[in-house]
Structures are given as structure tokens and as C-alpha cells.
Structure 1
């Protein structure tokens, strides 16, 4: 298993409605490093079962040894709700090393336009990027579009206001779907039309931008449609999805269980995967120690090679086109469509 990292819970506070702001303090001797936009996978015990949940780091690397997370309470999020109830200052927790490819590489010589578009808790990796860019790239501009339900739901509201006051090259636009009567900003969800209008107000047609998008799938689909209309090339768009879903209307998917062979460290394991669970879910339920972390297609840790058979893959945009062409897939979003599926994990866990 990967080396675990230990943190002390340094501060816990209400960051926004139904959202806990947690500041961790790294207590290890070896230097901790991470890239803006990466996440930590928190390990904890729930009724005797090891549970893992990934949380994006909201702080910048220059704020180490302190690391900030935002944990949002959800009606069906038993893991996050458990963590919110159990997190107390002074307690120690363990995580996997920072992971994730949704990152930004800063350079003091850059003269870039960064357009960040996020909604809800999707703001956390963007917050890390924004703070780092503003500190490291004085000649770049950062534009943030942030969608929420109401004023009380805005995560890191004070921090963004402080950044706006400190950095003239930072601009933020809020859009609320259910604001109070006193709200004077934009209203409604982040739609395709709204995105087109805002991007045009940020940069002109002759300028290029780097786009970082993070949030629920519906919002992201709207943003991608807008960027397509604006003729933004794919290599300028970086994304991280905070939810995944099985495609319900896939006619090729039958509601039957499938036999899957998993090869790890030279050993073959046969498992039966139900129609409504991913290969990774079943492998973990069977007690197999296979590489995993975020479990929703964002980090790439569960990458494996499909040697035979057919899979339905919900979203594996974290993989490069070359990796996909070579037969690699993400088992956390992979659902077998045939009985001859053979998966090879090449990396040790």
C-alpha cells in the first residue's frame, strides 16, 4: 500500500452553509509537496470498514505545513457527514499522498488569461490554483465565475473578497440560483448563454485563455457547449467532474451480472460484477487490494489495461488520448458489457 501521510486537525470552522472548513497541519519529517488543484484521500474507519474519500486541497503549496479542505454535508453523503461529525481539533488523521492531474503549472514569466468556472464545492481546487497564480504570476489575469444557491452557500467568500482587494488582476463574478431579495449580482445557474457572455466580457476574440472548470456535470456540460461555440480548443480546457453517473439509456447495457478477471501482481482473480456497480467497487468488496483513491474518475489511480472484453466507461477524461488508444481505462467508472473482460493492473499499490 502507498505510504500514508499523517496530519493533525488544526482548525475546524463553519465555512459556509452545510460546509465545514478544515485546516490540517502536516506533522511529518519528510517534506510534503503537492500541485495546486490536487486532492487528498482521507482514510477513516466506519463500522469496522475502511472508507476512503477524496477532498480537493483549497490551500496553495506556499501555505504549507497547513492544508485546507472543505467538506460539504450532503443528504446521501454518509462518508462526508461522518467526517463532519467526527472532525475535532487536535485529532490525527491519515491520508494517501496528494494525487490528481487537474493542476496548473505556474511561471513568473507567464502573461496568461486564466478563466476559472466552478460551482458549489467544485471551487476548492480552483481556490488553490487562484491563490498560487496570483502569487506567482504578477503579469497574468485571473477571472472566476462561481455559481451557488444563495449567499450563505458561497464557500471561501471572505477569502475571495480579500484576494479581490489585494490583486487588481483578479476578478470574480458570482451567480446565485436562489438569492435573497437584496442580491444585486447575477441570478440563475451557470448556463451556456451566461458563460458565453461572461467569457466575452473577460477577454476579446483575439486573446487566448486557459480554462479550468470544476463542478456538477450539468454545469460543466453547459460550459463546454459555450466554449465550443467560442471556438476554444480542447487543449485550452482543463476539467474535473465532482459527480459521475451511469448512462441510463445505454441500450447495450443489460441488467445482468458479468464475470470479470482481474490480474494484479501476476495473480488472476475472478469476480462477478453486478450491473449497477463498477469493476473497482466489486473488486474492493471482494477484498482485493487494487489501486484506488478518488473512486469517481478524477485521479487516475485505478488505471488498468483492458486486455479483452467490452466496457461501458462513464467518464475517463483524466486519461490522455494516447493512454485510451493503448487500451487503458479507469476501473472506478468501468462497467462490464461482456463476460470475457480481463483487466490488468500494471502498477503496484
Structure 2
């Protein structure tokens, strides 16, 4: 097990106000450029009130078109990390971030790319748009939903791309303040004849579910979320259980679930089996999205490229990598 954090340090070279409640942070990593693909994210580690917190933010830059690494963060009610970053970080400050991760990326195809974004969900969609236009001959069509004009992100950047790639990029802006909430019929009208396109969806959960249900087939759908849409089905207590013995207790959002321990099963898998929807993303031990604290018992991580030795000593684990090695264990997603 590796317990040396692989988080990297970077200097914030510029902070760009994209809207009253969104900022783009332009970053210069200390050890040279970070390798990433358009549509991926990095996990940031910040200390707020003496507590280390982790949040994943997508890149708004693309390696095909940008020499600088950029990530865009939007203020959200109660957002401990996003609000702290917007209110606190200035040019010249240093931040910690993980290696890039995520599978919300372009595939090797020439079908049309259709992007559906809600609010700050435009961030990875912009990255994918830049990459597709610069490195392929694909048509790109975007449906961007925002609360109102003041909330719109990257309007100038998208307008510039439309000018630079005439006939290949179409951007449709939907404003709730002017047209009401987006409807399934409007989504199907937007798709039109591009039913076989690749559909990339990112935004608030309700927005993503709306689009996922509305887009017609047979196109491939890619959705970017840092937690699953729905809880896994609760464990069937009448089904045969593993003979490992013991119990895994998972606490998440004030809910507690107990499931029989299964040999070789990670804590993340146990939580899902118990009907919970814990946060996760890379499932490779790199991003810390799935961090939780073992409050009783012990678990060993198969791989850890995110947590420091001190955090591991305090009981924190990456639940996508942690396997119980005591009969009973309790883990709390604080």
C-alpha cells in the first residue's frame, strides 16, 4: 500500500471572473505540465478551519488548444470548498491538486458531438468542444441551460469558437428566466436528426436526469457526475450471503446501513450494496472523492495516491480501495 500523497502543488497565475459567482483559476504546476485529456478533472485538497477537504473540478482548458491549465469553480449554497476558493484564492497563491482523472472524454469517432450543460456543467463541455474542433472534423452542437443571462459562463469564448469554426459549431442558449425550464420536447427538438451522435451531459442532477431520459437513441450517452444518480438496490436479506462473517456499517448523510461483510469487497461496494449512494469518481485511488473515516475496525487500501500518511493514521481511507481486514467495521462519510 502506498501512503505517500501524490497531490501536486501549483501556483495560481490568474483568476478570471466568468460571472458574479464563478471563477476560472489559471494554474502553473510546480513540477511541469500535468498530463490530461479534455473533459477530465483534478481533485483539489484545501484546508478550511483546520480540516482538509477534497473536491473535484473539471478543466475548462483543453491540451489541444491551451498552453495553460484552467479549472472553473462556481459558488454553490453551503459549498465549503467552492465558496472558500472563490472568496480566498488570489493570483500568486498556491494550491494542491491531484493528477487528472475521469472518463468523460472524447472517443475515436466522427459522429456529431452534442453537449448538454446546466450551469457550471459547461466547464468540461467547453473542454471537449475545444478538443473536438481542433483535432477532428466532427460537428459540435451545444445546448447550454442557465438560470439567467448573468449566470451564463464562457459566452465570449464560445462566440469566438463559432466564428473560428463556421458551420461546425452551433451553440443554443436556454435561459430559464426567459423561456421557463427546459422540457423533454425542447431537448428532442434540439437533437433533431443527430440521434446517432455522442451525447455529453453535465450539470445539476435533475438536469442530467431530464436530458438522459429525453435524448432518443441510438446515440451514445456520456454523463459526468461525481456521485451516482441513484442508490443501488438494497441488499436482499433472503439471498445467500458470503461466509466471511462480520458486518460492515456505513454512515452517510445521517443514514446508517449494515451489510454482511463479503470477502474482497471494498467499502464503496459495501455501501452501494446497502442501498446508499456514496460519492466517488475515478475508482482508482487517485482523486479522494470517495474519502471516508473508519471509526471502528480496520481496512487496508489496495492503492492510495491521494491521502497523506497523517490522514491514513487518523483513520481516513479511500473507500474505492479499502477492504476490511477486521470482522466488523464502521465507516463514516463525514
Q: Counterpart in 2 of 1:283?
A: none
Distance 1:308 1:316 in 2: 10
Q: CA deviation at 1:121?
A: 0.7
Measure, in 2, the Cα distance between the counterparts of 1:309 and 1:147: 31
Normalised to the residue count of structure 1, the TM-score between the two structures is 0.69
Task: Give the TM-score of the pair, scaled to structure 2.
Answer: 0.71
Displacement of 1:277 in angstroms is 5.0
Structure 1 residues 164 and 312, CA gap change in structure 2 (3 angstroms)? same
Task: Pick from 164, 168, 183 the counterpart of residue 191 of structure 1.
Answer: 183
Alpha-carbon distance, 1:45 to partner: 1.1
Q: 1: CA distance between counterparts of 2:159 and 2:234? A: 48
1:5-39 CA distance string (max 9 Å, x none): 2211111121013111221123314x521011111
State whether residues 199 and 222 of structure 2, in contact with CA within 8 Å, keep that contact through their aligned partners in structure 1. Answer: yes
Q: Which residue of 2 aligns with 1:90?
A: 92
In 2, the alpha carbon distance for the partners of 1:129 and 1:99 equals 15
Equivalent runs, 1:149-164 vs 2, <5 Å: 149-164=147-162
Q: Which structure's relative contact order is higher, taking Cα pairs within 8 Å and 6+ residues apart? A: 2
CA deviations over 1:31-74 (Å, ceiling 9, x no partner): 52101111111111112111111110010013555111111112
The whole-number CA distance in structure 2 between the counterparts of 1:112 and 1:124 is: 22
Q: Please, what is the CA RMSD of the aligned residues?
A: 3.7
* Distance change (3 Å), C-alpha of 1:308 and 1:79: closer
- Cα distance, 1:312 vs structure 2: 1.1
* Contact 1:25–1:65, Cα closer than 8 Å, also in 2: no
- 1:238 maps to what in 2? 222
**Aligned: 1:9 with 2:12:** yes
Which residue in the other structure is 1:118 paired with? 117
Change (3 A) 1:315 1:112: farther
Aligned partner of residue 195 in structure 1, secondary structure: helix
Residue 327 of structure 1 corresponds to which residue in structure 2? none
Q: CA deviation at 1:243?
A: 6.6
The reply to whether residue 211 of structure 1 matches residue 195 of structure 2 is no
Give 1:68-79 correspondences, 5 Å limit: 68-79=70-81
Per the alignment, do residues 333 and 188 of structure 1 end up closer, same or farther by CA in structure 2, a change over 3 Å counting?
Answer: farther
Matched residue SS, 2:81: helix
Aligned length: 276
Structure 1 residues 170 and 46 mapped into 2: Cα distance closer, same or farther (>3 Å)?
A: same
* Long gaps (5+) in structure 1: 180-186, 254-268, 280-302, 321-329, 335-340
The structure 1 residue matched to 2:30, chosen from 19, 27, 32, is 27
Q: Which runs of 5+ in 2 are unaligned?
A: 237-245, 257-265, 306-334
